[in-house]
A and B are shown apart, each in its own frame.
Chain A
Amino acid sequence: MTLDDVRRYLGAEVICCGEKLDREVTSAFGCDLMSDVLAFARPGTLLLTGLTNSQVIHTAELIDAAGVVFVRGKHPSSETIRLSIEKGIPLLATRLLLYDSCGLLFSKGLRGCSTVDLPETPREATAI
């Protein structure tokens, strides 16, 4: 999945670095706690968060994130955007909530950063 696919699936607005939307996204991580992002995210991941401060950009840079999606209609400050342009990290923004954003991307095949296998889906759940 590319960042441009992410943009389409989430109906997201491109805030900066739109020329990099052909970048491949290999996994996703939805979280507002940057320490947990640092601990568990993998390189090439897409970071989905409701935080908009400059620490999000530093975190994304350090984990080699493919890009950042701001959820819940949050919009970063001009300082955050400036930093992201400097680091070359594409930023997107969607009005969807974190859960819905992650669920939509998961349903399109983008997996998270869990290091354990996902449990098999119970039969009764698949019958819905």
Chain B
Amino acid sequence: MTRIDLEFTIDALDFVHAGEAASRVKRTLEHVGMEREVVRRASIAAYEAEMNIVIHSVGGTMKVTILPDCVEIVATDRGPGIEDIDLAMQEGYSTAPPHIREMGFGAGMGLPNMKRCADDIRIESAPGRGTTVRVIIRPRHAA
């Protein structure tokens, strides 16, 4: 394997298909024989990134680059942007409405979960300009 690029268009509030992009990321990583722990962390990060776009934005994209020693996930949305990134990184802080919470998400664990899975996470956002979250995940032996 040299390099695999995946790109997904993610629609806002599409709870029927939410999770399918992450599912494909997982299957692809398993197919190329990525180590199990990297598959787990990358799949979870991709899922939370996908759910964030579905819940909070008006749509966006998720690009996943798979290299032998690295998985990069870049989630970009056209959304309201994050006013206070430090606050958004705190476990339990959420702006999601009750009907999202009833679906098992929106409890303020999305970004913290992504950080937990990541070797590196960068968030670029400003009110009214959307959000880009970049996550890097590396196999343990290469970290």
A binding-site residues for B, Cβ under 8 Å: 32-39, 43, 49, 51, 53-59, 61-64, 79, 87
Instruction: Give the secondary structure class of B's interface.
Output: helix
- Can you offer 9 A-B residue contacts whose CB atoms are under 8 A? A34-B105, A38-B44, A38-B48, A39-B113, A43-B40, A55-B51, A58-B19, A61-B26, A63-B40
Q: Do A79 and B105 have beta carbons less than 8 Å apart?
A: no
Are A35 and B40 within 8 A (Cβ)?
Answer: no
Binding site for A on B (CB under 8 A): 15-16, 18-20, 22-23, 26, 36, 40, 43-44, 47-48, 51, 103-105, 107, 109-110, 112-113, 116
A62/B109 in contact, CB under 8 A: no
B23–A51 CB distance below 8 A: no
CA–CA, A43 to B112, complex, Å?
Answer: 20
Q: Are B109 and A35 in contact (CB under 8 A)?
A: yes
Return chain A residues, CB-CB under 8 Å to B107: 33, 35-36
B109 proximity list for chain A (CB < 8 A): 33, 35-36, 38-39
CB distance from A48 to the nearest CB of B (A): 13
User: Once the chains bind, are B47 and A58 in contact (CB under 8 Å)?
Assistant: yes
Residues from chain A with a CB closer than 8 A to the CB of B113 are 35, 38-39
**Which of A43, A61, A87 has its CB near the most chain B CB atoms (within 10 A)?**
A61
Shortest Cβ gap from B43 to chain A (Å) = 5
Contact of A62 among B22, B104, B105 (CB under 8 A): B22
Chain A residues with CB under 8 Å of B51's CB are 55
Q: Give complex CA distance A99, B70 in Å.
A: 41
